[in-house]
């Protein structure tokens, strides 16, 4: 079903679009993924910033705890066995006090807390088994580099792990779902690393809850050129959407029902009405 969302029809939409268009464009992998998945989602979430305050789902909570444990493990330099698991309960309790987590039943929080410990140990075991614990690591490193071919656009992102010795980059996925291992994400991160001057063209996903545990990929100039073409096409879509207010929607895509802006999206409401 083809349809569009007109952000100029929303309260303050035209003003916010003009403000967004007057500033340098910062593009992250997550923003680009929004655009490639559904331009209307990008318009609502990234241009108008209409996404409600972060609502932590159960899986997102456990993923956040896993990332927090890994970050502390690296930054504090405490690589002793069992350290991540020892801090997981406290990290979990801190997370649920700061975010909205809706349990499935009265025992769910207790089970999630126990799972957070298991996940943390699985992350640590993976880091050790694949020799990453023996490397010099930078965690949660912020990257901001100029986009080649643009006068003002920037590529931005937070890299979960960077290995100093060889410049390789890793992203942690605390999930069993393989769809989260998006090759585009690693390509963009590697390209950013190359622009920053320390990239190696090698990146990987740390997936401790899956049998692979670590998945690595290599990227080269042809990959970066193809990605740059896609990013510049995305910028054309953004420019047109800001000028006209019209953003193509992709209702019915796999993310549509769970989209963070579904309740604000006319295309999503139209899809539900048709299905009823």
Q: What is the pLDDT of residues 70-118, one digit of tens each?
A: 999 998 887 788 999 999 999 999 999 988 888 888 899 999 999 999 9
> Which of the listed CATH numbers 3.30.160.100, 3.40.50.920, 3.90.320.10, 3.50.50.60 matches domain 135-225?
3.90.320.10
Reported as a pLDDT band with limits 50, 70 and 90, residue 200 is confident
Reported as a pLDDT band with limits 50, 70 and 90, residue 51 is low
pLDDT of residue 78: 73
Relative to beta strand 3-6, strand 246-249 is antiparallel
pLDDT of residue 275: 45
* Domain range list for the chain: 3-51+245-275, 58-130, 135-225
**Mean pLDDT in the chain?**
90
Within 8 A by CB and 6+ apart from 139, the residues are 70, 71, 74, 75, 160, 161
Instruction: Quote the CA–CA distance of 172 and 28 in Å, as a whole number.
Output: 17
Instruction: Quote the CA–CA distance of 238 and 246 in Å, as a whole number.
Output: 10
Q: How is residue 44 annotated by DSSP?
A: I
Question: 214 and 204 in contact (C-beta within 8 Å)?
Answer: yes
Instruction: Quote the CA–CA distance of 258 and 148 in Å, as a whole number.
Output: 34
Instruction: Quote the CA–CA distance of 53 and 99 in Å, as a whole number.
Output: 9
Instruction: Quote the CA–CA distance of 232 and 241 in Å, as a whole number.
Output: 14
Q: Sign of dihedral through CA atoms 100, 29, 122, 68?
A: negative
Question: 235 and 25 in contact (C-beta within 8 Å)?
Answer: yes
Query: Does the structure show a pLDDT above 60 at 259?
Result: yes
Query: Does the structure show a pLDDT above 70 at 253?
Result: no
Mean pLDDT for 140-145 is: 91
Query: Does the structure show a pLDDT above 70 at 273?
Result: no
Longest Cα separation, the chain: 57
Instruction: Quote the CA–CA distance of 236 and 102 in Å, as a whole number.
Output: 39
pLDDT of residue 68: 96
Q: Dihedral, CA atoms, 22, 27, 28, 34, nearest 10 degrees?
A: 90
Which residues in the chain belong to E strands, given as ranges? Answer: 3-6, 26-28, 137-146, 154-163, 169-172, 202-207, 213-218, 246-249
Reported as a pLDDT band with limits 50, 70 and 90, residue 222 is very high
Mean pLDDT for 140-153 is: 94
Burial of 8-47, coded b for 16+ CB within 10 Å and e otherwise, reads eebeebeebbeebeeeebebbbebbbbbbbbbbbbbbbbb
């Amino acid at each position: 079903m083809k349809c569009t969302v007109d952000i100029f029809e929303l309260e303050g939409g035209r003003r916010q679009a003009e403000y967004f268009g007057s500033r340098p464009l910062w593009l992250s992998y997550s923003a680009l993924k929004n655009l490639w998945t559904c331009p209307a989602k990008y318009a609502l979430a990234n241009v108008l910033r209409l996404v409600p305050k972060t609502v932590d789902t159960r899986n997102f909570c456990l993923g956040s705890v896993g990332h927090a444990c890994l970050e502390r493990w690296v930054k504090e330099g405490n690589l002793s066995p069992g350290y991540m698991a020892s801090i997981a309960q406290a990290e979990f309790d801190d997370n649920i006090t700061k975010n909205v987590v809706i349990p499935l039943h009265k025992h769910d929080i207790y089970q999630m807390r126990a799972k957070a410990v298991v996940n943390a140990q699985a992350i640590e075991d993976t880091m050790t088994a694949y020799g990453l614990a023996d490397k010099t690591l930078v965690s949660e490193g912020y990257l901001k580099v100029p986009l080649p071919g643009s006068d003002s656009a920037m590529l931005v992102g937070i890299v979960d792990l960077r290995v100093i010795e060889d410049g390789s980059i890793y992203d942690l996925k605390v999930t069993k779902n393989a769809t989260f291992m998006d090759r585009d994400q690693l390509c963009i991160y590697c390209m950013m690393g190359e622009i920053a001057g320390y990239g190696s063209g090698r990146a990987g996903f740390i997936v401790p809850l899956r049998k692979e545990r670590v998945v690595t990929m290599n990227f080269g100039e042809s990959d970066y050129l193809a990605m740059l073409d896609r990013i510049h096409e995305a910028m054309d879509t953004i420019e047109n959407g800001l000028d006209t207010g019209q953003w193509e929607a992709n209702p019915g895509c796999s993310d549509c029902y769970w989209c963070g802006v579904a309740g604000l999206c006319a295309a999503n409401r139209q899809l539900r009405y048709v299905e009823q």
